[in-house]
């Protein structure tokens, strides 16, 4: 097991947002995290990377056990070094070029020399089809292009796993496909990915396992095909029905 989270709990102001969530990920798994708005998906991802402090819970990553509540800075740094995040709104620096956005984590973050960082960045940008835009600024790009740059920025850090939080939700419909195509290619290349998404086709055809959450709990989890073909819980069935209707 590459990553295993267990019994993750989190409250905000007395309101339980994560009520003992867990997850197991093998190397190369693409896990779709599904669930209605407000079910705790973002909070869960953020807790796994210590962007949010869980109230309790454990994370086993590469054989090392971390307490999600009490982990110290050095431990957090070890987890973060192996993980990367792709956000809904890309979070690119608007005053920096594409190339600068992708190199920054390597130079400022990892202390790499500029030339070496740029070589890695260009390779990462090639993988997402953005190597012809090195000198562009984010505002000169479409949302789909910006998100592909954000994915390149994640790739450049050579993470063991990438967390995606609704990577296509902010995009115009005609731009969603190019981002999903990049993600599908990463999946085929064996990248381990944890993806919060409402894209049913991606969840069904690209991800190999699904975690369906509601109200801070895991309602159902298992192989993606089985989840969509034969959901076991009434709430899962309702959710899939709603996804289908939203798409039509
Ligand atoms: N920083 C925060 N402070 C207070 N409440 C929060 C905070 N972040 C999230 N919440 C609440 O936690 C619940 C789950 O949010 P979230 O994890 O964003 O759900 P999802 O990503 O599934 O839509 C929501 O009710 C949300 O309002
Ligand atoms: Mg969210």
Q: What is the 166 CA–ligand 1 centroid distance (Å)?
A: 14
Greater model confidence, 67 or 110: 67
pLDDT at 190: 97
Please report which confidence band the pLDDT of residue 246 belongs to, taking 50, 70 and 90 as the band edges: confident
Whether residue 86 is predicted with pLDDT greater than 80 in this model: the reply is: yes
What are the residue ranges spanned by the domains of the chain?
Answer: 3-247
**Residue 90 near residue 146 (C-beta atoms within 8 A):** yes
H or E stretch including 237?
helix 234-247
Mean pLDDT, all residues of the chain:
96
User: Which pLDDT tens digit goes with each residue over 184-209?
Assistant: 999 999 999 999 999 999 999 999 99
Q: What is the 213 CA–ligand 1 centroid distance (Å)?
A: 13
The residues facing 213 across adjacent strands are: 218
pTM of this prediction? Answer: 0.96
User: Which pLDDT tens digit goes with each residue over 27-76?
Assistant: 999 999 999 999 999 999 999 999 999 999 999 999 999 999 999 999 99
Q: Ligand 1 within 6 A of 40 CB?
A: yes
**23 Cβ partners below 8 Å, 6+ apart?**
3, 4, 5, 31, 194, 211, 218, 221
- Protein residue closest via CA to atom 18 of ligand 1: 42
Whether residue 247 is predicted with pLDDT greater than 90 in this model: the reply is: no
pLDDT at 99: 98
Q: What is the 62 CA–ligand 1 centroid distance (Å)?
A: 28
What's the CATH class of domain 3-247?
A: alpha beta
Q: What percent of the chain has pLDDT over 90?
A: 96
- Ligand 1 atom with the shortest distance to the CA of 37: 23
pLDDT at 248: 72
- Protein residue closest via CA to atom 12 of ligand 1: 17
**Residue 57 near residue 47 (C-beta atoms within 8 A):** yes
Q: Ligand 1 within 6 A of 38 CB?
A: yes
User: Which pLDDT tens digit goes with each residue over 6-25?
Assistant: 999 999 999 999 999 999 99
């Amino acid at each position: 097991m590459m990553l295993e989270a267990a019994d993750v709990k989190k409250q905000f102001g007395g309101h339980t947002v994560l009520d003992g969530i867990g997850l197991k990920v093998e190397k190369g798994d693409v896990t779709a995290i599904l669930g209605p708005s407000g079910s705790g998906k973002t909070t869960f991802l953020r807790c796994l990377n210590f962007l949010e402090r869980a109230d309790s819970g454990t994370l086993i990553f590469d054989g090392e056990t971390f307490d999600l509540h009490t982990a110290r800075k050095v431990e957090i740094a070890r987890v973060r070094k192996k993980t990367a995040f792709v956000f809904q709104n890309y979070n690119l620096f608007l005053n920096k070029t594409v190339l600068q956005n992708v190199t920054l984590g390597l130079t400022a973050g990892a202390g790499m020399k500029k030339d070496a960082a740029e070589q890695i960045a260009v390779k990462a940008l090639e993988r997402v089809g953005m190597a012809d835009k090195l000198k562009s600024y984010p505002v000169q790009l479409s949302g789909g292009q910006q998100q592909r740059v954000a994915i390149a920025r994640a790739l450049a850090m050579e993470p063991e796993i990438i967390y995606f939080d609704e990577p296509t939700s902010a995009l115009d419909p005609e731009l969603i496909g190019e981002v999903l195509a990049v993600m599908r290619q990463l999946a085929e290349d064996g990248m381990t990915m944890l993806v919060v998404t409402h894209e049913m086709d991606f969840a069904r055809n690209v991800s190999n396992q699904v975690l369906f959450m509601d109200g801070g709990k895991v309602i159902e989890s298992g192989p993606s095909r089985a989840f969509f073909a034969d959901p076991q819980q009434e709430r899962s069935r309702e959710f899939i029905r709603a996804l289908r209707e939203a798409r039509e």
